[in-house]
Structure 1
Amino acid sequence: MQRFEAPWTWNGRIWARTGCNFNSNWQPACETGDCDGRLQCNGLIGIPPATLVQVALQGDKGKPNFYDVSLVDGYNLPVSVTTRPFSPKCTIGSCSKNPNNFCPQELQVVNKNGEVVACKSACLAFDIDSFCCRNEFGTPEKCKPSVYSKMFKDACPSYYSYAFDMPPPLVNCASKDYVITFCPSAWGTNQASI
């Protein structure tokens, strides 16, 4: 378990890295979510695909904070988010299925052993405006869910599956303590909470 304190006006992203070896001289040091081979990312953003927890804390302690889990850049492992004390309306649940188990070959990220360790989003894999919701497709009316984003949504209904996911799976709750759990217990015994 890792605990950290953030300023009341902090905005940021939290993600898990997998398959890391920080004792080697090769980069990247992690199979997924690597940040330039460093142990401490220190403001660098991890290399996608990685499941992202996005947080926006408000300066006024009475105002709600905003947070979501995004697969817009792809998926590497399940995450859940809740408040302490626990509140069901302030919880983002985990995935019901592991997208890595049925990730289409064109989206797969495999490690040196040939195991699927992450699943890219269609935007990340193909870099096409219609998948990335940009330029001509930069509005909710023009950018619709793809077969790929629907696959993510089916497995992880509480997460953003693409940029204009509707209804937006954004949670806003006032709390001073949040618990982010990587690989919640339903997924096995390897878990870490923040």
Structure 2
Amino acid sequence: MKQQVSIIAIFLFLTSHSMLPGHAHEVTFYGHNNCPFPIWPATAPNTGHPVVADGGFYLAPGETRSMIVPSPWNGRVWGRTGCNFTSNRQPACETGDCDGRLACNGSIGTPPVTLVQIALQAEKGKPNFYDVSLVDGYNLPISVTTRQSSTPKCSIGGCSKDLKYLCPQELQVRNKDGDVVACRSACLAFNVDSFCCRNQYGTPEKCKPTVYSKIFKDACPSYYSYAYDRPPPLINCEGKEYVITFCPSAWGTAHTTI
């Protein structure tokens, strides 16, 4: 179950406008792993946009890697966990797997994952748009900010609580050892219109927060907790460099400065 309704509408609008004539330029995203364990960040472009950083790479605890992204560009970034690409195991990752490959090469990761959605504008001086979404579920806390400015309006904070420990049993995703590695959204878990904001519930007036989305929102107030989250936690901020931090606060000892 992929991102839905209001988020799709916003990004279709931004995509169509970002393809208008203009002077293309490049933006740098720094992926920083603040988790006390390795992760495998992944990227996937929307239709018509190029693959960035081969679609996926390894990031050790405390490590940072830059990703050069052309403008305009629309797509998503997420973190994969528990991966092993040396075996024939399918899936290769416990969360966020993309067909068992290290380099996703445009493939979208298997939910549930915490998803960063990005829409870069074609012209310099125009604000870029980004958000973090739990519409399909959660696997890692993620923050996004500009590198040049500490302005709060340009920042998406991480989570105050770990949803893997708060996740209701019916939404839990467990690994082979029985550990909770992700939390599905109610839409992904139950595929019900009222949870998925579709059909007769396909408007902001009809689709309201649920007991499940409220758990998500309480833990991660800066993220989309469901498709018609209000006010929309969508950031528009100009910048040439952005930092995407996985596990941005109080996760072990892997704390380094970019």
Q: 1:73 aligns with which of 136, 141, 145?
A: 136
Contact 1:180/1:193 (CA < 8 Å) preserved in 2? Answer: no
Q: 1:145 aligns with which of 209, 231, 237?
A: 209
Post-superposition shift, 1:43? 0.6
Contact 2:90/2:100 (CA < 8 Å) preserved in 1? Answer: yes
The amino acid that maps onto 1:139 is: T
Report the identity percentage. Answer: 75
CA RMSD of aligned residues (A): 1.5
Cα offsets for 1:44-82 (capped at 9, x unmatched): 000000000000000011110000000000000100000
The amino acid that maps onto 1:58 is: Q
The amino acid that maps onto 1:91 is: S
Residue 166 (structure 1) aligned with residue 230 (structure 2): yes
Aligned to 1:8: 71
Cα distance in 1 between the residues matched to 2:172 and 2:257: 27
Contact 1:2/1:192 (CA < 8 Å) preserved in 2? Answer: no
User: As a proportion of its length, which structure holds more strand?
Assistant: 2
Aligned to 1:45: 108
Aligned to 2:81: 18
In structure 2, relative to structure 1, the CA distance for the partners of 1:65 and 1:128 (3 Å cut) is: same
1:178 aligns to what SS in structure 2? strand
Gaps of 5+ in 1: none
| Number of residue pairs aligned between Structure 1 and Structure 2 | 194
In structure 2, relative to structure 1, the CA distance for the partners of 1:192 and 1:31 (3 Å cut) is: farther
Cα distance in 1 between the residues matched to 2:109 and 2:79: 9
Return structure 1 stretches of 4+ with deviation > 6 angstroms. Answer: 191-194
TM-score (norm 2): 0.73
TM-score (norm 1): 0.97
Gaps of 5+ in 2: 1-63
Contact 2:158/2:249 (CA < 8 Å) preserved in 1? Answer: no
